[in-house]
Structure 1
Amino acid sequence: MQSLSLYLMAFVYVAAGVNHFLRPKMYMAIMPPYLPAHYELVMLSGVAEVVLGIGLLFPATRTLSAWGLILLLIAVFPANVYMATSGRFRKIPRWLLWARLPLQGLLIWWAWQYT
């Protein structure tokens, strides 16, 4: 079961990372205005998700990749808070925007399983 969870996690992060390159405007829209270089940060976070997701698949890099994902999840948390509090994302139900915040903790816990 743990290998299924590991492969699922790797797939989720690689797919999410690739999506940064396919739909960068979507990710730039959720960037808090106080952060600089939105496009560059979206591309950097996409690369990080792909590299760290792949890194989970190899025992030699699994722990480092899991810690990297934890740090990445913490780094992107302000974007999730911005989505929930800015009032700009009216097409997404408010409850879903707020539910996403504790989901971040669950994702951190999931990554921590591989540290």
Structure 2
Amino acid sequence: MKLFLRSLYSILLFGAGVLHFTHEQSFRRSVPETLPLRRTIVLVSGIFEMIFSVLLWVKKGQDITGKLLALFMTAVFPANVYMAVRRISFRPGEEANPWILWLRLPLQLPLIVGALTLGRKGNG
């Protein structure tokens, strides 16, 4: 089961990281306009996601990887809230479905718990 969770999480992270580059403008919309370097924030967070996707497979340091990934998932949560409050669509030019935007917020919790679970010793 842990192998499945690690594989799924790794694929999800890597895919999301790549999307930060291929759909950077869409991701930039989730960064409040009051923040500087919005494009940089999107690209750096995409790099972090791809790095974490690889680090999930490195046995040494899994405890710190899990904690850092959980912290990262907590740090990006405000962007999801911002999207829900502002009704920002995933696709530019299309109207956002507020139900999807709000219902996806609780999904962050399993990502945080999953990161901590994978980071615990003995979770090969």
Q: Which runs of 4+ in 1 moved over 4 A?
A: none
Does the CA contact (< 8 Å) of 1:32 and 1:78 recur in 2?
Answer: no
Alignment TM-score, normalising by the size of structure 2: 0.85
Does the CA contact (< 8 Å) of 1:80 and 1:101 recur in 2?
Answer: yes
**Counterpart check, 1:22 vs 2:26:** no
Instruction: Tell which has more relative contact order, 1 or 2 (C-alpha 8 A, sep 6+).
Output: 2
Aligned to 1:106: 110
Does the CA contact (< 8 Å) of 2:87 and 2:96 recur in 1?
Answer: no
Unpaired segments ≥5 residues, structure 1 = none
Structure with max Cα Rg: 2
Correspondence list, 1:25-40, <5 A = 25-40=25-40
Alignment TM-score, normalising by the size of structure 1: 0.91
- Kindly report the root-mean-square deviation, in angstroms, between the aligned alpha carbons of the 2 structures: 1.4
Letter in 2 for 1:100: R
Unpaired segments ≥5 residues, structure 2 = 120-124
Correspondence list, 1:1-115, <5 A = 1-89=1-89, 91-115=95-119
Letter in 1 for 2:9: M
Letter in 1 for 2:83: M
d(CA) in 2 for partners of 1:11, 1:88? 25
